[in-house]
Structure 1
């Protein structure tokens, strides 16, 4: 048998997202529908019984009733591959997408997101789905057919999450052969559970008569119907077998007399009374096609070696041979589970030599139609792991370059343990996938196998060069640069000979090294050189990283317009190519948030940083994590959300320790020390400063930056202890080092800190000179927050500088303060320090939902409690809070409540 030629338009493979279309040989279960209607608004409906009891049929009939009443229905027919949480979430999103087409863009973004392998993706994805469903104006029914195939704990937790946080308009419907691991007792006590079991599903005498006589047209007396009903115990599958047998029986009365479902196994009965009575060509077709879970005409024809597959499928349906259409167009079909199981056992018994060939044929067909998971599954079922490995290998790098790393690793995980060890191309893709998902151990393991599989020699130079680039990528994710430039040199010098992807990533790695060696101009030039390679890569990953690194270099030099251009471009590229919630978009968004923070645009900075870390900030190089943890924690603390800030710092510390990222730990501890000093907890701040890590053991500029962070924090503690002279000496040495290395942005921040120390020491003239020098660099660049966040000391010094400007007594230019700054610019900056905000009148209008959130703030409710009350996600609550703060001119919860009460918005 050979696979069919690929058609111009492959058949739609979406049958698992559509409720089966049953139109023949089915009676309406009015008795059970009445039960379901009586409890129609309960949260969970569970239809549980062994195979052959009509679970799916009842579910379909009930969904038709609900759809007629205006409900939106999402259907997911579960397969074994849904035991992987990634596949389950992906399929769930597609099911909801088909029920809510107006939300397709958001759901597509979520599907891209789960490919990034972020630890908290499942929770976020489910919460976002529930929020979409909660916003739907009508009832929404989410159906899972064949839940018994699920035994993965994470997938079970996902269903529990859906139940725990379901909005009022959401109901769930499950069919299962076994009792699911769900909090059924709790739901039952709350009267949120409807159960239909095997006893309820059995046909009663009236239903058996309707099925056998009215629907199947059998001429049976009342006592004969009763005998058959009793003999089958109302089992629907057995009654259907009886009806098939009676149609062609030479002695119906004898068959009825002898029949008893208790004394005949289903397999024996099938063999004796149904299959053996079929024409040989039909039996051959059934056996050949039984290897597949679903069938279309072309696939069935390929398996059976005939050109009329669709016609035969329709004939089987007409004969009621346990074949069910899966869509209204009658493109896809499946056999009843009982029937399929028996056919497969009979195929194994009678024609075992055909089984591998049939699976190979199915694998070829699914592969030709780009249905890779099924193609791999059938290749493995054929006992051909080499074929399965070929399939995964051929799709591996395209999946990586499209940021579908989790899909690749899921497919590779189905292969035998050693199947990949002699496959260099597949090992390379697995190494890339694990590296980009920041799984360094697994990435290194794949690289080690790769080096063993590929001999050293000029004919393998490109592969070894690419392996070196992967190794360098692993290193920079670990914040190490000691050997990285050497690893990527060959890929950069031979750029014309290598794939654009390799060159683009190598250029990004070299740019990272340039940034952390303080070669900012070289970093920006490198990215300008690399742009053509970025443009020729598949997928956005390399291009987004390149723009981000160029933005970091520009920001370090206080070229904020260039930084904004690069970071905005990175965000746009990521969102357009990978989705708004993609890994790439989150990384770029974090750095763009940092830029807004430096400009003093705190609302926008907080929004972007919160979006970035909402799915977990443990991704990318350390620069991204510093923004997502330390900087967001600072914003939270400054706005009065101390508990949330503490949680961010604790989470960041755990990540830094687990991944061995000393620079991240130093940045987080520095922010913790800043907050302790602001709260007057000097003893704790001193201990934290003593425990700060040093840069010893970290090569190049990364070790230097760690030491610079330590110096700034120790200076802050000394100043708080009254040792202003010691703090000044540390800061002056730090500023000289920063200026010598060209770290302009960091030098401005350190100079503002020096001004604060000098003001505390009553060295007013020195404080003015220092702040004026910082302003000379900061204001032309639009860098405002080092001044705005400097506290009352900076505000006092700024006030005196304003007086000097107005009196035309600006400091001597020889001091380094630069040319005089216009008094209007200084006055505007002083006004932004926050003076007088609490005295402003509260003449604003809030929406109804904002007022509801405000009232819950007044009651002391947490974000999580507010989210549950309003049936929204925590992220949505934070959006409402941002709007409230903006309208009221508040910076935290307490201030918002106070201003609202003063303005009459609260009693």
Structure 2
């Protein structure tokens, strides 16, 4: 669709809506003095169907106008336009705008999933769980003829997550999409590779530079008639830089001596900005200059805000006139303008330098204007520039709902600007600061904030302040402070409490019930999370929705409800995708749970891929999330055949966790996985290390006894192994994991087969299969003993669960345990890296040379090597040597 595109919303699953300004998806209008570039239009037309079009050049080379002219002159109804700005770094902005622009194209079928996602109705309107870019690619594959998507000003996009997603869209190459990128710098994509493969179509500064005939045309369109020598001089000084030529044309129109102007004119970009902006302003009437200075404080300039800043009811008309007369004011969309960045920065700096009082007043006006419209990020930014701590403090109170957003950067920046004295004296600010610090786990700073809030607590606090304090207190139960009583936790929200605060209160109540000591009430947590989720989905609180579902998954895990954990974690991941919060620290925990579930369900490749995506997030993730993701990733590598590499990654992840807090159930789940891999390697020392580590942190549980039993079984002591887990069968010790009893059944199978009791073995196998069908876990069967796996293959009757049968049939993991080295062999192995011969080793160990040689031969056989060097290398890979 060419030209105007109305403001709209994009809807994903659960009705999530993102407001898209009309100007963002509108093809820009061409100025009166625009110089057509037919050769460049033809060059754009020549791009191949499978090529990425990149228009890359510094500011002022006419990239936007070239593309706008191309779309308009060709009357291309199949081209969508999105103007990228800095706000697109915030989650939930860029891709909804892309969907809105694409859905407006007449060539996109009425039944397309893209249209339904924007309209929020019709079959398939919800963006499915999974990757939104894969979904978009699938939706566009069926569009014929293909559509074009122009992403203009791409240099404004700097968030690593957004750039990675764009790179994945380029790599995905949907059949129905032709992508055109315009940027001041090369986008961080694999351009060299695309160039080598012939998949890149480029237009760069050397093509965009005006030649002399283009310069003549531009000057003539501005009403200037210079002689050839003057034109050549101007072209040489500017090197064909379009912005400089346009600025020069504006100044020349007001110059009484063009020749003198050209002699003083410099092609240096900074001098162009300084000199020409001064010349342009000096040629304007005083009231026009004052008007431009007033409105220059805003990069985003709605007409109503321009009126408020300038006290000119005709501000919109003035901006339109300036846009028609010059290239320095652009219509960004209906009721919205944008001043050329060079001019705006010059005007704003000049205003701040020469009239600081007016600059502060205008920034204050802009701050209140945005605050009244609920645009808290813009409001705080202008209040910071105004430097008015009192106003900033007031706006921070009204911006408390930002605590429920994904990005707390605007709040943190404003809290820094308001200063420590103001934060310490105002309980509102202290509590907002405390919650922001708790989010980033800056506990010492949060403790100071909480203490300030307690010491400055008013005799009569309003309802919202009470809710805010209770939220902070519940999130920080272990933070030490002076003996100042905390208020009672308030009841449910009321109409005078903003929904964002009520949702945060429910979330903090639920989190408090999941305390590390395990004494919380899980039923209360479930009820609180249900209320939180309703508020989050109703009021579009993306981060809160993700966190609420993630906590629900944690509750299910504590209840040993594996399927419930997977379902809740899946809801969290889907919410993260809808709100553009994946991969990020907000989705890392839920992704870790899903990767763990993939692993237990026999999908090692899926587990590895999930973990890699989450670990690649630009946001720093919590230590426990990193531990979970890296352990699952290592286990997946081990299941795929890279056992030594996987074991090394798991070991490193556990050691890097160090003393960081982590839930008992998480430690149990990951400790069991790592211990089993160590035993399969034949690495009993590391297995013993893991066993001691886990027992010291979670106490006597069924999982710790299971580790002891596995160690006994791998050395052939089957009866001792069975006896070790008798307290678990009797219910005498707590069990943390859903599949621990399944593992015990499989241990019983192997032990019974070893003793020749086939009937008992089949009964234990039936019990294991029944447990697997209930919880949906199959990996333990792949890691069971060889006799158990053979019995499983030979069984003649199905389980009765098609799902379980399918998973067992496709489980390709073969996990034969490595031979275990004896204690004496491990001692000899430790001496092999030295240069000592067999005789010297025998002398040190006070044994015969033949005994040492016998140990070395056994070590070689168990490690599957034939030389001393190979033995040292293999042992190092398995972690048997430091």
Q: Name which structure has the greater RCO, CA cutoff 8 Å, separation 6+.
A: 1
Q: Map Cα deviations across residues 434-462 of structure 1 (whole Å, 9 max, x no partner).
A: 645xx42x255223333234318795887
Q: Does 1:732 align with 2:726?
A: yes
**Matches of 1:435 and 1:413, distance apart in 2:** 14
Q: Does 1:333 align with 2:337?
A: yes
Deviation at 1:94, TM superposition (A): 4.2
1:523 aligns with 2:522: yes
Whether 1:400 and 2:411 are equivalent positions in the alignment is no
Q: Which of 737, 745, 755 is the equivalent residue of 2:748?
A: 755
* Residue number among 700, 706, 713 corresponding to 1:704 in the alignment: 700
Higher-helix-fraction structure: 1
Query: Which of 204-213 and 629-638 deviates more?
Result: 629-638
Compute the displacement of 1:361 (Å).
1.6
Q: Which of 346, 350, 357 in structure 2 is aligned with 1:353? A: 357
TM-aligned CA distance change 1:755 to 1:16, over 3 Å: same
C-alpha contact 1:144 1:174 (8 A) present in aligned 2 = yes
Aligned residue for 2:33, secondary structure, equals coil
How much does 1:302 deviate? 1.0
Report deviation, 1:260.
Answer: 0.7
Contact 2:608 2:633 in 1 (8 A): yes
Q: 1:376 aligns with which of 376, 380, 401?
A: 380
After TM superposition, the structure 1 stretch with the greater mean CA deviation from structure 2, 488-497 or 743-752, is 488-497
Partner of 1:287: 293
Contact 1:640 1:892 in 2 (8 A): no
Partner SS, residue 692 of structure 2: coil
Partner of 1:143: 151
In the TM superposition, what are the counterparts of 1:167-316 in structure 2 within 5 Å?
171=179, 173-176=181-184, 200-213=207-220, 215-217=221-223, 236-237=242-243, 239-241=245-247, 243-244=249-250, 255-260=257-262, 262-263=264-265, 266=272, 270=276, 274-316=280-322
SS where residue 333 of structure 1 aligns?
strand
- Aligned residue pairs, count: 749
**Which residue of 747, 757, 764 maps to 1:764?**
757
User: Which residue of 2 is the match for residue 468 of structure 1?
Assistant: 473
Alignment of 1:598-747 (within 5 A): 614-616=613-615, 649=650, 653=654, 656-657=657-658, 659=660, 661=662, 663=664, 664=666, 667-677=669-679, 679=680, 681-682=681-682, 684-694=683-693, 698=697, 702-705=698-701, 708-736=702-730, 738-739=731-732, 741=734
1:42-73, Cα deviation, whole Å (9 max, x unpaired): 64634424x544343234334557x7567644
- Cα distance in structure 1, aligned partners of 2:631 and 2:387: 52
**Structure 1's 161 and 654: CA in aligned 2 closer, same or farther, altered over 3 A?**
farther
Give me the whole-angstrom Cα distance separating, in 2, the residues matched to 1:221 and 1:704.
Answer: 94
Q: Is the 8 A contact 2:331 2:338 kept in 1?
A: yes
Q: In the TM superposition, what are the counterparts of 1:781-792 in structure 2 within 5 Å?
A: none
Q: Identify the residue that residue 100 of structure 1 maps to in structure 2.
A: 102
| Structure 1 residues 343 and 36: CA distance shift in structure 2, 3 A | same
Q: Note the alpha carbon deviations across 1:456-484, whole angstroms, 9 max, x for none.
A: 87958876644331124x89xxxxxxx9x
| TM-score normalised per structure 2 | 0.67
Superposed, 1:867-882 pairs within 5 Å as none
1:544 paired with 2:544, answer no
Structure 1 residue runs of 5 or longer lacking an equivalent are 1-8, 110-122, 476-482, 803-825, 838-884, 896-907
Q: Which residue of 2 aligns with 1:822?
A: none
Q: Which of the numbers 311, 317, 323 marks the counterpart of 1:317?
A: 323
Aligned pairs for 1:578-589 within 5 A: 579=578
SS at match of 2:399: helix
| Cα offsets for 1:214-270 (capped at 9, x unmatched) | x34557777776676677665544554565567677xxxx63343316447657865
Q: How does 1:9-28 map to 2 (within 5 A)?
A: 13=21, 15-16=23-24, 18-28=26-36
SS of 2:326's partner is coil
Secondary structure (helix, strand or coil) at the match of 1:454 reads helix
- How do residues 477-496 of structure 1 correspond to structure 2 at under 5 angstroms? none
Alpha-carbon separation, structure 1, partners of 2:623 and 2:227 = 80
Q: Secondary structure at the match of 1:729?
A: helix
Cross-structure match for 2:448: 448
Equivalent position SS for 1:210: helix
Q: Deviations over 1:679-721 (max 9, x none)?
A: 5x43x145423442346765xxx4334xx43321121121121
Q: For 1:112-135, what per-residue CA distance to the aligned partner results, in whole angstroms no more than 9, with x for missing partners? A: xxxxxxxxxxx9888887887788
2:490 and 2:376 mapped to 1: Cα distance? 37
> Does structure 1 conserve the Cα–Cα contact (< 8 Å) formed by 2:150 and 2:180?
yes
Cα deviation 1:337-367 (Å, max 9, x = unaligned): 3333443354346544311111212222222
Is the alpha carbon distance of 1:686 and 1:268 closer, same or farther for their aligned partners in structure 2, counting shifts above 3 Å? closer
- On the 8 A contact 2:28/2:332 being kept in 1, the answer is yes
TM-score, reference length from structure 1: 0.65
Provide Cα deviations, 1:740-789, integer angstroms capped at 9, x if missing partner: 54879567336414513531551738945983995799599678859956
Equivalent-residue separation in structure 1 for 2:147 and 2:308 (angstroms): 43
Q: 1:787 to 1:129 in 2, by over 3 A?
A: closer
Q: Please list the CA deviations of residues 299-348 of structure 1 after superposition, one character each: whole Å capped at 9, or x if unmatched.
A: 11111112111121122223336222223x4x222222333344335434
1:488 and 1:674 map into 2 onto residues whose CA distance is 48
**Distance 1:668-1:685 versus aligned 2 partners, 3 A rule:** farther
Q: 1:28 offset after TM fit, Å?
A: 0.5
Q: Which residue is equivalent to 2:347?
A: 343
What is the 5 A alignment of 1:7-86? 13=21, 15-16=23-24, 18-37=26-45, 43=52, 45-49=54-58, 52-62=60-70, 64=72, 68=75, 72-79=79-86, 86=89
Per-residue deviation, 1:611: 5.5
Q: Alpha-carbon deviations, 1:164-211, whole Å to 9, x = none?
A: 8877966553342x7888887777677666666666545434323323
The CA deviation at 1:382 is 1.8
SS at structure 2 position matched to 1:100: helix
- The answer to whether the Cα contact below 8 Å between 2:503 and 2:531 also exists between their aligned partners in 1 is no
Q: Once the two structures are superposed, what CA deviation does each residue of 1:625-656 show, in whole Å capped at 9, x if it has no partner?
A: 99877678768866768689658746853664
Q: Provide Cα deviations, 1:68-104, integer angstroms capped at 9, x if missing partner.
A: 567644534444x67xxx53x6554344334434548
> For the Cα contact (< 8 Å) 2:470–2:505, is it kept in 1?
no
